[in-house]
Amino acid sequence: MKKLLVFLVSLAGILILIAVLVLGRKETSAPGKIFQVKAAKVNKISRIVFKEDTTTLVLKKEQKGWMVNDQWKARIRAIKVLKKVISQMEIKSPVSEKMATGVLKDTASRHVDVIIYGNFFPLKKYEVCINPRIPGGNMMRLIRKKKWYIVNLPAGDVNPAAFFVTDPYYWRDRTLFNYLPGQVIKVTLEYGKKPLAGYTVGMDTLTNRFYFYHEDTSLKIKQVDTGKIRTYLTYFQHLECDAFDRSLSPGSTDSILKQTPLYTITATDIFGKNFRMQVYPVPDRSSYAGAPAFDPDVARAWVMPLQEMVLIRYYRIDPLLQDSKFFIKE
Q: What is the pLDDT of residues 277-320, one digit of tens each?
A: 999 999 887 756 666 788 999 999 999 999 999 999 999 999 99
CA distance 302 to 103: 43
Peptide bond into 305 cis (omega under 30): yes
**Phi and psi torsions of 207, nearest 5°:** -105, -10
Contact status, residue 165 vs residue 173, Cβ threshold 8 Å: no
- Is pLDDT of 219 > 80? yes
Contact status, residue 199 vs residue 231, Cβ threshold 8 Å: no
pLDDT in tens, 240-260: 999 999 999 999 999 999 999
Mean pLDDT, residues 51-75: 95
Helix (H, G, I), strand (E, B) or coil at 102: helix
What Cα–Cα distance (Å) separates residue 213 from each residue in 210, 222, 231, 273? 11, 13, 17, 20
Say what percent of the chain tops pLDDT 70.
89
**Phi and psi torsions of 257, nearest 5°:** -65, -20
- Is pLDDT of 193 > 50? yes
Beta partners for residue 189, in sequence order:
199, 265
Residue 107 pLDDT:
84
Q: How many other β-carbons are positioned within 10 Å of the β-carbon of residue 44?
A: 13
Beta partners for residue 124, in sequence order:
116
The distance between the two most distant Cα atoms of the chain, rounded to a whole number of Å, is: 110
CA distance 239 to 241: 7
The pTM (predicted TM-score) of the whole model is: 0.78
CA distance 45 to 329: 56
